[in-house]
Amino acid sequence: MPQIRLENLVKRYGNFEVLHGINLEMEENEFTVLVGPSGCGKSTTLRMIAGLESVSDGEIFINEKPVSNLEPKARDLAMVFQDYALYPHMNVAKNMSFALRLQRRPKKEIDEKVGVVAEMLGLTKFLHRKPGELSGGQRQRVAMGRALTRDAGTFLFDEPLSNLDAKLRGQMRAELALMRQQVQKNMIYVTHDQIEAMTLGDRIVVMHGGYIQQQGTPEELFKRPANKFVAGFLGSPPMNFLEAEVQDLSDRSFVSGKGFELVLPEDKAAAVASSSSKAVTLGIRPSDLHYSPDAEDHESVDLQVIVSEYIGAQSVLLCDCGGQKVEVELKSETPIALGETLRFAVNREGIHMFDRETEVAIR
Amino acid sequence: MSVAIKANRLTPYMFLAPAGVILVFALLYPIGYMVYASFLDWSPSQRIGQAEFIGFRNYVNLWGDEAFRESFWVTIRFAAIVVTLEMFLGVGLALLLDRNLKGMAVLRTVFILPMMIAPIVVGLMWRYMYHPTVGIFNRTLKSMGFEGVPWLSDSTWSFIAIVIADVWQWTPFIFILALAAMQSLPRSALEAAEIDGASEWQKILLIKLPLMMPVLIVTLLLRLIDAFKVLEVILVLTNGGPGLSTEILALRIFRTAQEFQELGEAAAMSNLLLMLLMALTIGMFAYNRVQEARVARQRAAAEKDDD
């Protein structure tokens, strides 16, 4: 199986540079997710790997072979498109076997392959239908089936689930994860949805503004975000950010701002000490705030509830903390009233700090 | 039902009424007149009331008329040949010019210019170019040491000459429709084909042309209907000659009325041509209907087992 490497990949449209030197290495059989807001360059990167966009500068290596000047068909890829890109005039079987028929494989082999993949995706009884006669979810499956039948070395997915409604998307996400276990191939998956990224990826690459912000396992990115953007992008509800100052006292360091003062754990204190900046942005995920009326002063924050969003077992509370907004999660049965001030203990591991100027994590 | 509701229901018809009146006077009346005239033995010197009613005799006469059959055959041959050539050239050009190069917009505009020239002017222009001594074709041939070609005086060459002129004028029509169809093709399906390993030719044959087919079929029928009615260019170029070699039906009708003064017979021929074109038009509508019905059926099927 090939390994894929991007070296200083640059994309320009005229004088406008949209990708600024992407360096990325993907291991064999790895499921890599490129994630970021729209316009971050993730789709462009994928389309360059596919050969649908030209490479302005830099090189793409597949198995150590430079491929940026090769036709898409010479790169041994299969791709699933956002709008499925099925051939409307061919039935499902013909759609799935198109690549194999172009390769003039024997009919028996083609029928067998299509049969196996159709069985796996539950498409067997739709093989003679045209794409127009299928529902969105079924079309999505055909698109997936076409890529699988192709039996290529690398699979590319360009936001494959974004045209589906929420319920179907969850279902297809689970099916994808299942397929992932059965098919050991390189997979590169582009999405703007951080939940898809977290649940599917072996490795997540967060992109923003044409740069890679951080890459690593979902856990690494979630627990040790490299900067404020990554911290805010991953996780739901998103991380809370509060303007704060760091104060060093003789024995302990504090991070404080309007309406809160927290003692810093030693490793964080050491990190801040070696950093030049005392003006920081404090980041705390809602999941690191626990309702605890008896918590110590310096290990908790007091929040005034503004809005409570009931979403079932949990409610999301939007609160005020010295003029800044903070979101927390709370068991729905907890008796609270709007306007009430509640005390939330802060998980020590959950304190993140970012340089207010550069937004880089201090750690 | 109250008066107000009744008046409301009638409102749309009141708005349609002017158009209906125009339709009756400008379209149905002349056609009815023509159909009626086709049953008369009528010369231009008579008022229509004085003409003798002869039933289907005009049509029977046409059946036995060698010249009419010849011109009918010329028309069919002409339409078949020009439309085939124009389809190939128009679609071919569209395939070639469907790309974003500098100056392509200008080039496309230039390509559709012939379509905008009045047919009489096209006829005159080509007549000068086909002129046996001063025309550009023969002068060029002679300067290169070849014999001149009897463009308009030989029966085979004159047929070729009118075909060339028509292809020149009407290929752009197919070109722009084909180009529009091509540019509305789903881009991602073509990209998928590229990744699936299709070469440029395979993309054209297996994806582009099949997807363009509905538009191309309608274009073909439109062109066919037009080709059956062509008159001015040929009238100016050859006036149907030499002999009857380029006398298409429209020209035959024109001459029957104008030269032979047989208004009844001319009306009968017009009717036949009208029926032929009606058949094509109905064919086109039927095709559209079938397409629409298929799409509707597909959508219904898709919605039924939407999960």
Segment B139-190, tens digit of pLDDT: 888 888 888 788 888 888 889 989 999 999 999 999 999 998 998 888 889 9
- pLDDT band per the 50, 70, 90 thresholds, residue B1: low
- CATH (residue range A4-233): 3.40.50.300
pLDDT value at residue A29? 86
pLDDT value at residue B304? 65
Between positions 135 and 194 of B, the ones with CB within 8 A of A are: 186, 188-189, 191-194
Question: What is the domain-level CATH number for residue B281?
Answer: 1.10.3720.10
Helix, strand, or coil (residue A13):
strand
Q: What is the mean pLDDT of chain A?
A: 88
Express as a percent the part of chain B with pLDDT over 70.
98
Inside any domain, residue B124:
yes
Contact assessment for residue A93 and residue A114, using Cβ atoms and an 8 Å cutoff: yes
This model of the complex carries an ipTM of 0.81
Domain A240-355 is found in CATH 3.30.70.980: no
Any A CB within 8 A of B70 CB: no
pLDDT value at residue A285? 93
* HEC string for chain B: CCHHHHHHHHHHHHHHHHHHHHHHHHHHHHHHHHHHHCCEECCCCCCHHHCEECCCHHHHHHHHCHHHHHHHHHHHHHHHHHHHHHHHHHHHHHHHHCCCCCCHHHHHHHHCHHHHCCHHHHHHHHHHHCCCCCCHHHHHHHHCCCCCCCCCCCHHHHHHHHHHHHHHHHHHHHHHHHHHHHHCCCHHHHHHHHHHCCCHHHHHHHHHHHHHHHHHHHHHHHHHHHHHHCCHHHHHHCCCCCCCCCCCHHHHHHHHHHCCCCHHHHHHHHHHHHHHHHHHHHHHHHHHHHHHHHHHHHHHHHHHCCC
Strand partners, A61: A5, A66
pLDDT value at residue A1? 45
pLDDT value at residue A2? 57
Inside any domain, residue B166:
yes
pLDDT value at residue B82? 94
Helix, strand, or coil (residue A300):
strand
- pLDDT band per the 50, 70, 90 thresholds, residue A189: very high
Residues with Cβ within 8 Å of B204's Cβ and at least 6 positions away in sequence, in order, are B95
pLDDT value at residue B307? 47
- What's the structural domain count of chain B? 1
What average pLDDT does this structure show over B202-213? Answer: 91
Inside any domain, residue B204:
yes
Beta strand residue intervals within chain A, DSSP E = 4-13, 16-26, 31-35, 57-62, 65-66, 77-80, 154-158, 186-191, 203-208, 211-216, 240-248, 253-257, 260-263, 279-284, 289-291, 300-310, 314-321, 324-331, 341-346, 352-355
Pick the residue with more confidence: B85 or A128?
Answer: B85
pLDDT digits (tens, 9 = 90+) for A58-113: 999 988 889 888 888 888 889 999 888 999 899 999 999 999 999 899 999 999 99
DSSP A16: E
pLDDT digits (tens, 9 = 90+) for A143-183: 989 998 888 888 999 998 888 888 888 888 888 888 888 88
Give the gap in angstroms from C-alpha B192 to the nearest C-alpha of chain A: 6
Q: Is a pLDDT exceeding 90 seen at residue A206?
A: yes
Inside any domain, residue B186:
yes
A165 contacts in chain B (CB < 8 Å):
none
B197 contacts in chain A (CB < 8 Å):
73, 99, 102-103
Which CA distances in Å does B187 have to A43, A84, A192, B126, B213? 15, 11, 22, 41, 17
pLDDT digits (tens, 9 = 90+) for B64-83: 888 888 888 889 999 999 99
Inside any domain, residue B11:
no
Residue B215 sits in which domain range? 66-304
Whether B302 and A135 lie within 8 Å, measured CB to CB = yes
pLDDT digits (tens, 9 = 90+) for A266-298: 888 888 877 777 888 999 999 999 998 888 888
What average pLDDT does this structure show over B93-100? Answer: 85
What average pLDDT does this structure show over A10-18? Answer: 90
The domain locations on chain A are 4-233, 240-355
Highest-scoring range by mean pLDDT, A248-252, A255-259, B206-210: B206-210
Using CA of residue A112, residue A118, residue A123, residue A124, what is the dihedral sign? Answer: positive
Give the gap in angstroms from C-alpha A10 to the nearest C-alpha of chain B: 21
pLDDT value at residue B303? 67
Alpha-carbon span B238 to B258, nearest angstrom: 17
pLDDT value at residue B306? 52
Classify the phi-psi angles of B205: left when phi > 0, otherwise alpha if psi is within -120 to 50, otherwise beta.
alpha
Residue entry with tokens 């128009």: B90
